[in-house]
Amino acid sequence: MSSTDVAVFTGTEEIERFVNTLAEPAWSLNVRRKALKQFNAMSWPTTEDEEWRRSDVSSYDFDRYALSPVEAAVPPAGAVPEGRSGLLRFENGRCVAASLAPELAEKGVVFASLAAFLNDETANHAGNGAKAHAAVQGLFERRSGELEHRLFAWHYATWTHGVVLFVPGFVEVEQPFEVQFHFDGDAVLATPHVVAVAETGGRATLLHTVSSGDEGEVLLNEVINADVADTARMEIATHYELNYDSSTFSNGHAVVGRDAAYHSFLSSFGGMFSKLRMDAELNGTGGDIDLDGLYFAGEDQHMDLRTLQVHNAVNANSRTFYKGAVKDEAHTVYQGLIRVAHGASKTDAYLTNNNLVLNNGARADSIPGLNINTDDVKCSHGSTTGKIDGAQLYYLQTRGFDYETARIMLVQGFLEEVIAKAPEAVQDRLRALVEQRILADYDTGDDE
């Protein structure tokens, strides 16, 4: 790739010019051009669309964001941090740190900058190079075939950087991989792409964080795709922590094979406006999905989270567990759906969403749903939205906890149930963020 800085990224010509500057394999350019075609044929989502009914993007001027310059940087080599199998860090799209445990590289594990990976099709990766490239290409092509909304199409046409994790058959990786995308600046369009593939029997955890500087508006439009082959296990912990000027659009999707397991843990703290979606499809008998989510909205944040559990195979299990707290004048929306295809009998699927509303003026909507097209299934959903329980508060007070301490403990406890499901490596950070968010004062700016 060569350096480029096209200013406007919602015009066909600009995107096309951008695509033409890229030195990617033909199939990848093809994916971009096809996505651009879909992009042109669509309009931005409106509140007429069910998925966007509670999250209005009509006030966005999508023309105002510019992609960061893309550089064909050769990622610098670095030491593998303690407790990790590898680390990739991107700042404004540039890879500034890249490491992979040598013993994993020898086994054919790929953990690399996506651009660098695509630009070097000849890399052997311990004999797994061709397989890894085929897997990434396949995933890109399948996922970009029919895009559901314009932001999706925008992403596939304009993604600038990302990460590829490829775990070859029966390679089990204990320590997590970590990727960090960080953005600075104003009116930045951030379009990272995450691909995670585990071949048959492979096993890995990926920690994924998107963050920003304290100020400046970033518009994140991210896609995460995972392919978990038969008997493989993949865990992806995604964490969004952009500043309050920024917006977060994200679409995660996983396909899960026979007797395979996929665990997604999503934590959302940042962004003025977030629209986050996690889908997982069970395509093989005995597959298993856990979609866990933690969100805590404050000030006047708007967070919209959606999960989709799709059962296409018999005897598969899925569980969604999303818990959120909302304070100040923030608004959260959770929509969840279990969809059981015709013939996917013996499905065992649950969906739980619990919301804690910390004050009047804050709001949480919860819309769980079932779409079941076969008999002989066990599916259920439960959703609660409530305030701090007076009986619990009183109980703690009789033990000597003052009101504020008791309240904090109860909010922490409420969210702890889902934090406990996160990879251990991120749990303490999440606990600290929860505490910070509970204690944060909301300055409405009225007295300034």
Partner 1 sequence: MKIQINDLHAEINGLPILKGVNLEMESGAVHALMGPNGSGKSTLSNVIFGHPAYDVTGGEILVDGENILEMGTDERAMLGLFLAFQYPVEIPGVTVGRFLKRAADLHAGEGETKTTGFVKRLREMMDYLEIDQQFINRYLNTGFSGGEKKRMEILQMLILKPTFAILDETDSGLDIDALKIVSKGVNKLRDEGFGALIITHYQRILNHIRPDHVHIMYQGRIVTSGGNELVDQLEAKGYDFIKQEFGIEEEHDVESVTSG
Closest approach, Cβ 399 to partner 1, in A, equals 5
Q: Cβ closer to partner 1: 172 or 404?
A: 404
SS3 154: helix
- Cβ nearer to partner 1, comparing 189 with 433: 433
Q: Which of 295, 297, 368, 356 is nearest to 331 (CA)?
A: 297
* Residue number with CB closer to partner 1 (210 or 406): 406
Residues 6-25 that bind partner 1 (CB under 8 A): none
Specify the residue, 82 or 402, whose C-beta has the smaller distance to partner 1. Answer: 402
Structure tokens at 374: 């076969």
> Among residues 130, 265, 117, 104, which one has the least CA distance to residue 195?
117
Q: Binding-site residue total for partner 1 (CB under 8 A)? A: 24
Shortest separation between residue 407's beta carbon and partner 1, angstroms = 12
How far is 80 from 87, CA to CA, in rounded Å? 7
Nearest residue (CB) to partner 1, 365 versus 417? 417
How distant, in Å, are the alpha carbons of 82, 331, 408, 427 from that of 434?
A: 25, 17, 10, 11
CB 88 within 8 A of CB 179: yes
**For partner 1, the closer CB: 125 or 421:** 421
Return the SS3 of 445. Answer: coil
Instruction: Identify whether the C-beta of residue 398 lies closer than 8 Å to the C-beta of residue 366.
Output: no
How many CB atoms are located within 10 Å of the residue 122 CB?
7
Phi, psi of 38 (to 5 degrees): -65, -40
By beta-carbon proximity to partner 1, the closer residue of 231 and 355 is 355
| DSSP at 130 | H
122-129 long-range contacts (CB < 8 A, ≥24 apart) are: 125/166, 128/166, 128/168
What does the alpha-carbon distance between residue 192 and residue 221 come to, in Å, rounded to a whole number?
A: 7
- The least distance separating partner 1 from the CB of residue 309, rounded to whole angstroms, comes to 23
- Residues 159/189, Cβ–Cβ less than 8 Å: no
The piece of 18-26, 247-255, 371-379, 389-397 that touches partner 1 (CB under 8 A) is 389-397
Contact positions with partner 1 (CB under 8 A) in 49-78: none
Count Cα neighbours of 176 within 13 Å in the Cβ-side half-sphere: 18
Amino acid at position 275, single letter: K
CA dihedral for 205, 438, 247, 385, sign (positive or negative)? positive
Find the shortest distance in angstroms from Cβ 363 to partner 1: 23
- Cβ closest to partner 1, residue 351 vs residue 406: 406
Question: Whole-angstrom Cα distance, residue 415 to residue 109?
Answer: 35
Footprint on residues 391-430 left by partner 1 (CB under 8 A): 391-392, 394-403, 406, 409-410, 412-417, 420
Q: Report the distance separating Cα 238 and Cα 388, nearest Å.
A: 27
**Min dist. Cβ of residue 325 to partner 1 (A):** 12
Distance separating alpha carbons of residues 334 and 8, to the nearest angstrom: 32
Residues 309-328 that bind partner 1 (CB under 8 A): none
Distance CA(361)–CA(368), nearest Å, equals 23
Q: Which is nearer to partner 1, 254 or 406 (CB)?
A: 406
Closer CB to partner 1, 373 or 384, in the complex = 384
Residue reference for tokens 């480029």? 4
Is the CB of 4 or the CB of 412 nearer to partner 1? Answer: 412
Minimum distance, C-beta of residue 400 to partner 1, in the bound complex (Å): 4
- Give the residue with the Cβ less far from partner 1, 254 or 411: 411
Amino acid in the structure at residue 260: A
The alpha-helical segments, DSSP class H, found in 384-423 are: 390-398, 403-419
Span interacting with partner 1, options 161-169, 229-237, 325-333, 386-394, rule CB under 8 A: 386-394
Token readout for 44 is: 């931005």
Binding residues vs partner 1 (CB under 8 A) = 389-392, 394-403, 406, 409-410, 412-417, 420
